[in-house]
Structure 1
C-alpha cells in the first residue's frame, strides 16, 4: 500500500498536534462479497505508533472495529519546529508502512 499515510504536525505553544489519515480497507472478516457470497478475509491495522527524536510519543492497539481509511489526531510535548515525526502501522496480514512529517 504505497503512500497510504498522509500526516501533518503543527506546533502551537508547547504542544505539537499530529493529524493522520491512513488509507486502509479495515475489513472485519464478517462481511460477504456480494458477487461470490464468500466472506471477505479480515484485514485491519493492529498497531499504530509515532516517534519523535527516537522516542515513542504515541502507541495504539487497534482492532477490526476501526473504520475504513481511519483519521486520527493526538498531541505531545517536546518537539520543535523543523523536527520530524514518524508514524508507523502494522496490520494483521503482516503489512506495514511508515510516513514522516516535519513539524511546522
Structure 2
C-alpha cells in the first residue's frame, strides 16, 4: 500500500478546484532491474473521488502513468465538503484517504 495522498482544495463561486498527489511507484514493466530482468508492472488501475459520498471524479490508469500521479479537476460544491480518494492497483492493493472539511 502506498503512502497517504496529499490534497489541496480551493473554491471560487461554488466551483471547487481539487489537486491530489498520490504516492505510488508506478512501474510500467519495461524497466530492467540491476539483475537485468524486467521489473514487474505495478500501477494504479482505478481512481475514484467522492465528495459528501457522491462520486465527482473517476479514472482508469495504465502502465504509462508516471510515478506519484497528480490529478487536478473541478466540480460544483463547497470547500467544506468531506472528500475521499480511493485507488486500486494491478496487484490488488487498495488505499482510501479522507480529507475532512477545511
TM-score normalised over the length of structure 2: 0.91
Deviation, structure 1 residue 48: 0.6
Deviation, structure 1 residue 2: 5.1
Deviation, structure 1 residue 23: 0.9
Unaligned runs of 5+ in 2: none
The equivalent residue for 1:55 is 54
RMSD across aligned positions (CA): 1.4
Listed as ranges, the matches of 1:8-87 within 5 Å are: 8-33=8-33, 35-77=34-76, 79-87=77-85
TM-score normalised over the length of structure 1: 0.89
Relative to 1, partners in 2 of residues 1:76 and 1:103: Cα closer, same or farther, differing over 3 Å? farther
Contact 1:11 1:80 in 2 (8 A): yes
Distance in structure 1 (CA, Å) of the matches to 2:30 and 2:3 = 27
Distance in structure 1 (CA, Å) of the matches to 2:26 and 2:41 = 8
Of 76, 81, 98, which aligns to 2:96? Answer: 98
Deviation, structure 1 residue 8: 2.1
Distance in structure 2 (CA, Å) of the matches to 1:36 and 1:81 = 49
Distance in structure 1 (CA, Å) of the matches to 2:40 and 2:98 = 30
Count of aligned positions: 102
SS at the partner of 1:40? Answer: coil
Please say if 1:6 is aligned against 2:12. no
Contact 1:17 1:75 in 2 (8 A): yes
